[in-house]
Structure 1
Amino acid sequence: MGAARIDHVVVPGTFDPVTLGHMDVISRTRKLFPRVTVAVAASVNKRGRGTAFTLEERVEMLRQALAEEGLSDVEVLPFTGLLVDFCHGIGALGVVKGLRAMTDFEYELQQADLNCHMAPDIESVFVMSNPKYGYVSSSIVREISSMGSDVSSLVPPCVNQRLREHYCA
């Protein structure tokens, strides 16, 4: 008997802010799976600091960016707690993560192994970054934007506007 088809996956992240690299992974994931939910993590203590944007702002920016790209069928939901619990709660049987470099792989493999231990019914899928976005990260975008430089080639237009408002206000 064959394995069950995965019809619903989650693309989790902090998305502080969403970048064109994130958008590429979400778009490509949508081509692979019929139902995609982007899970925006609260991550109040990510790497010992808070986020630049509130959870509500990050959810709204993602919804707007996805709508502008014609991906309004991708659901965006905030979450706190364990990712596997979130997946079980919405009926998703897969987690999709984008990988840019070997350092991403090492971290994400460790997370995937832990998730498998806690919830063996949830599969982990890795999508390689498009090389043109391999150097793009939310932290780089925030740093460049906070110094008043242009990040319009790294983020969706609606996010670029929010960054200018956030750092130039």
Structure 2
Amino acid sequence: MRIALYPGTFDPITMGHIDIIRRASALVDRLVIGVAINRDKGPLFTLEERVAMIEAECVALAEQTGIEIIAHPFENLLIDCARDVDATLIVRGLRAVSDFEYEFQMVGMNRALDDSVETVFLMAEARHQAIASKLVKEIARLNGDVSKFVTAPVRDALVKRFSDA
């Protein structure tokens, strides 16, 4: 069974993330969405909220692709998370050349830690390349329309979060 890990903070999950999840699903038998517990980033949504959003968004994708897609919170090293879920492949999405420099360093470090785990880069579709969770949150915070960047349930969660603030 080919198992891949697609890690990120997903704060919140965007159409760009969903695009990568859909395309990665064609490559593996099981896709684990590694939801990072990155306290340094100060996420807008709690871990539980981010996991619930991912699970809700992936139900239809799992049915369409016929593979298991699960959300898995983690706070350890990425390579240790890959081992924890038996992944032999790490999937990373790239939006721009600037992403590649950071990702290139990460691959080198991960390969030094465990060379049995490969990393595959998937380029975001052109219409999703500008989408970044950080920018989506900023637009939502300023009452802008984020419906081109996230699904309706995620948009509603953003609106609610900022109206409650």
Corresponding residue for 2:84?
Answer: 89
How do 1:4-153 and structure 2 match up within 5 A?
A: 7-46=2-41, 50-67=42-59, 69-71=60-62, 73-153=68-148
Q: Distance in 2 between matches of 1:90 and 1:56?
A: 19
1:96 and 1:124 in contact (8 A); partners too: yes
Unmatched tracts of structure 2, length 5 or more: none
Is the 8 Å Cα contact of residues 148 and 168 (structure 1) preserved in structure 2? no
Structure 1 regions of 5+ residues with no counterpart? 1-5
SS of residue paired to 1:11: strand
Identity %: 36
Q: Deviation per CA, 1:95-118: give whole Å up to 9, x if none.
A: 000000011111111111110011
**Structure 2 length as normaliser, TM-score?**
0.93
Contact 1:65–1:159 (8 Å) recurs in 2? no
Conserved 8 A contact 2:94-2:100: yes
How many pairs were matched up?
A: 160
Stretches of 4+ moved more than 6 A in 1?
none
What is the identity, as a one-letter code, of the residue corresponding to 2:144?
Answer: S
Q: Which deviates further from its counterpart, 88-97 or 70-79?
A: 70-79
Equivalent in the alignment of 1:3: none
1:53 shift after superposition: 0.8
The match for 1:163 is 158
